[in-house]
Structure 1
Amino acid sequence: MSNESKGNGVLLGTLVGAGVGAITALLLAPKTGREMREDLSVKYSEWMAKGQELASDAKTKVADVASRVNEQTSNLVDRSKELVNSAATSTNRALDNVKDMKEERTDQMLNSMDQSNKPMN
């Protein structure tokens, strides 16, 4: 075991021991039942307030993230619509070009056939 992990273990043990000692001292202190209940009530109120504060902070952060996700999703949808519209426009142009070319070729073939059917002088 390295010296660093031994040091971390000692520090953790010290902190846990201090916490257990503080709780034990609070419960075993020579106080009347009323004083003990008041102390516990005060601590409970402090912990509840802190818990509510943390819950409120978490709720705010979740709402912020949800808002950003919603905005980004909306942007992606808008961009996708633009791309689809652009692709549709390009496809329609290409189809129009093909139709025009077909008509030109058809006209050329008909003209060619007309000329070949004319009697020679």
Structure 2
Amino acid sequence: MSKKTYGFVLGAMIGAASAAATALLLAPKSGKELREDLMAEADRVKSQMNDYSEFALEKGAEFSEVAKNATEDIRVNLKESATQLKDSVTNKVVSFKNEDDEPEEIETVIDLVDDVADRVAEEIKEEIQEEINE
């Protein structure tokens, strides 16, 4: 529940309780009837608040589970991407040991590492954005 929605719901509940209490106090009733009505209204408001708190706890648990899953997915993807990067760099280094080290080959490795790092960063951004949008 967003802060605006929460504020609106809380304000509506306080306003309703205030209106009910004012109506009861201004109604021509005996003291005993008035106390009974006030207790009934207090019980109703308490029950409503319990319902809203249970709802808030359920939503909090759901959001927590979504965050855990998103974090786990991102961790797994990062691990896979890091493994791919390591393998690519290892293969290039092995190929350099077998050939003469030429400056353009070194540039190729640097470009490869930059490309993989950019790809991993982009994948992370996309996954985080997807989780936020859900």
TM-score band w.r.t. shorter chain: 0.5 to 0.7
Q: Kindly report which structure 2 residues correspond to 1:41-80, keeping only aligned pairs within 5 A, or say none.
A: 41-80=39-78
| Whole-Å separation in 2 of the counterparts to 1:30 and 1:98 | 97
Give the counterpart letter for 1:45 in structure 2: D
Tell me, yes or no, if structure 1 residue 88 matches structure 2 residue 94: no
Q: Letter of the 1:34 partner, please give it.
A: K
Residues 91 and 24 of structure 1: CA distance in aligned 2, closer, same or farther (over 3 Å): closer
Deviation at 1:32, TM superposition (A): 1.9
Give the drift of 1:24: 4.0
Query: Which structure is larger by alpha-carbon Rg, 1 or 2?
Result: 1
One-letter identity of the residue aligned with 1:43: E
Aligned residue for 1:38? 36
Could you tell me which runs of 5 or more consecutive residues in structure 1 were left unpaired when the two chains were aligned: 1-15, 103-121
Query: Which stretches of structure 1, 4 residues or longer, exceed 2 Å deviation after superposition?
Result: 22-25
Find the residue that maps to 1:53 and give its secondary structure.
helix
Q: Using the alignment, how far apart are the partners of 1:23 and 1:39 within structure 2?
A: 9
User: Does the residue aligned with 2:85 lie in a helix, a strand or coil?
Assistant: helix
Cα separation, partners in 2 of 1:27 and 1:77, compared to 1, 3 Å: same
Cα separation, partners in 2 of 1:94 and 1:33, compared to 1, 3 Å: same
Task: State the Cα RMSD in Å.
Answer: 2.2
Partner amino acid for 2:36?
E
How far apart are 1:59 and its partner, in Å? Answer: 1.2
Task: Tell which deviates more after alignment, 25-34 or 56-65.
Answer: 25-34
2 CA distance for matches of 1:73 and 1:37?
A: 53
Separation of aligned partners in 1, 2:45 and 2:72: 40
**Structure 2 unaligned regions, length at least 5:** 1-14, 101-134
User: Deviation digits for residues 82-114 of structure 1, max 9, x if unmatched?
Assistant: 000110011111111111114xxxxxxxxxxxx
* Higher relative contact order structure (alpha carbons within 8 Å, sequence separation ≥ 6): 2
- Structure 2 residue matching 1:31: 3-state secondary structure: coil
| TM-score, L = length of structure 2 | 0.57
Q: What's the TM-score, normalizing by structure 1?
A: 0.62
